[in-house]
Amino acid sequence: MSSVRVLNSGQIAEAVDVLRSGGLLGLPTETVYGLAAIATNENAVRRIYEVKGRPLDHPVIVHIGSVSELDEWGIDISDQARTLAEKFWPGPLTLIVKRKQIAGDWLTGGQDTIALRMPSHPVALGILRELKTGVAAPSANRFGSVSPTSALHVVSDLMDYLDSSRDAVLDGGNCEVGVESTIVNCTLSHPKVLRPGAISQSDIDEALKSTSTNEEIAEIKAPGLLASHYAPNARVLLAESEADVNELLERVSEKNFVGFIAPEKLRTPDGCIRLAMPQNNSDYAQILYEALREADNQGLQNVIAVLPQGDDIAVAIRDRLTKAAN
Ligand code: TXA
Ligand code: MG
């Protein structure tokens, strides 16, 4: 049987050793768990792609332990990008900036930009500050499937692919945010959200005291923006309202095996299995991936998800659920 070493949050030194020796580490962050390697170690980063089954042209995010490290990886960094880093780091925000040479093709998929983020999870920050070097970390799931929000998710997804003699997973508890970071393209004259997350476009506009004009959107590849992603095995059906739920239920043949994800105030339709009943949008984000995984654990064929409303993290939840449904 395969196994993988699980470290606890007191074992930062051991986690640093794993990374320094060229191993991979399941790394807790406030958004989702990452699969980490030292960013300048090309071989280790290439192993991340193998373990995830991820195509090589999908660039990864480099995680850093201080705002000043922006300048180690990026060049021509705009004042706006610096303002966003000062305001939102450490936190769930990834900035795309022009890359320096140190950001090799194995990190950027050959693009001339690099994605940088300073996470706020104390364990992640502790490791990064000890290492004093950037760490590449895509979400620690197999390519295309649901991101992990607990150490158990990482172990069950990747145990068969990790090397028990070199790699480890650090258990830093359940992720607080629950969906991946907001990605902002800072190479445009006004920074624009490429992937929605806990920090919204209006948070960004407010921090910059300006809003986007309808300038042309640069051709930038962000494969997280693929139409299908974050998908469980179960079929995900989307509803805007209770009326939609009833209509969807009429179309599903096996009514007794339908999972149901919806805000707390909506009652569970007869025969459905309630997978989550979030009280608000932050709650919804935090439990979303666990609920989608639970659908698969229970072998459910269909999940009806009632989309949250609002222009906060609801935008990110709607984005992920729409991709899970494709
Ligand atoms: O919250 C997060 O961002 C998590 C945690 C672990 O930090 N990481 C994460 O990584 O979600 P990943 O690799 O699953 O998603 C990163 C996304 C991908 O869609 C990738 O295409 C995009 O970021 N990306 C990375 N570098 C980019 C670049 N230079 N230009 C455009 N998109 C980029
Ligand atoms: Mg991912």
State residue 214's pLDDT score. Answer: 55
| pLDDT greater than 60 at residue 51 | yes
State residue 221's pLDDT score. Answer: 55
Which residue has its alpha carbon closest to ligand 1 atom 18?
Answer: 224
Q: Which of 49, 158, 180 to mutate to test the pocket of ligand 1 (most atoms within 8 A of CB)?
A: 180
| pLDDT greater than 90 at residue 212 | no
Q: Which atom of ligand 1 is nearest to the CA of 183?
A: 23
Residue 59 CB less than 6 A away from ligand 1: yes
State residue 216's pLDDT score. Answer: 45
| pLDDT greater than 80 at residue 222 | no
281-297 and 314-325 helices cross at what angle (nearest 10)? 20
| pLDDT greater than 90 at residue 63 | yes
Closest CA to 61 of 180, 193, 161: 180
* Alpha-carbon 311 to chain mean position: 19
pLDDT tens for 72-126 read 999 999 999 999 999 999 999 999 999 999 999 999 999 999 999 999 999 999 9
Question: Per the omega criterion (within 30 degrees of 0), is the bond before 90 cis?
Answer: yes
pLDDT tens for 179-189 read 999 999 999 99
| Residues forming a β-bridge with 239 | 306
Percentage above 90 pLDDT, the chain: 88
Residue 64 CB less than 6 A away from ligand 1: no
Residue 182 CB less than 6 A away from ligand 1: no
Q: Looking at 140-154, 190-204, 205-219, which range is the least confident one?
A: 205-219
Written as one letter, the residue type at 165 is S
Instruction: Label each residue of 213-261 as H, E or C.
Output: CCCCCCCCCCHHHCCCCCCCCCEEEEECCHHHHHHHHHHCCCHHHEEEE
State residue 229's pLDDT score. Answer: 76
Q: Looking at 78-92, 214-228, 292-306, which range is the least confident one?
A: 214-228
Across residues 168-181, what is the average pLDDT?
Answer: 98
What's the CA-to-centroid distance between 147 and ligand 2, angstroms?
A: 6
Residue 94 CB less than 6 A away from ligand 1: yes
State residue 226's pLDDT score. Answer: 66
State residue 121's pLDDT score. Answer: 98
Residues in the chain: 326
Residue 128 CB less than 6 A away from ligand 1: no
Two structure tokens written together for 129? 């500050």
State residue 289's pLDDT score. Answer: 98
Rounded distance, CA 268 to CA 102, Å? 53
pLDDT bin (cut points 50, 70, 90) of residue 230 is confident
| pLDDT greater than 90 at residue 10 | yes
Percentage above 70 pLDDT, the chain: 94
- Edge-first strand order for the sheet with 258-261 is 235-239, 302-306, 258-261, 273-276
Across residues 216-231, what is the average pLDDT?
Answer: 61
pLDDT bin (cut points 50, 70, 90) of residue 257 is confident
151-158 and 281-297 helices cross at what angle (nearest 10)? 30
Rounded distance, CA 227 to CA 225, Å? 6
State residue 249's pLDDT score. Answer: 93
Rounded distance, CA 27 to CA 34, Å? 5
Residue 307 CB less than 6 A away from ligand 1: no
Residue 168 CB less than 6 A away from ligand 1: no
| pLDDT greater than 90 at residue 211 | no
CA geometry: angle at 207 spanning 204 and 211, to 5°? 60
Residue 34 CB less than 6 A away from ligand 1: yes
Which residue has its alpha carbon closest to ligand 1 atom 10?
Answer: 138
Q: Which atom of ligand 1 is nearest to the CA of 115?
A: 26
| pLDDT greater than 90 at residue 317 | yes
State residue 252's pLDDT score. Answer: 86
Rounded distance, CA 279 to CA 300, Å? 24
Give the N- to C-terminal CA distance of the chain in Å, as an integer: 34
Rounded distance, CA 188 to CA 33, Å? 29
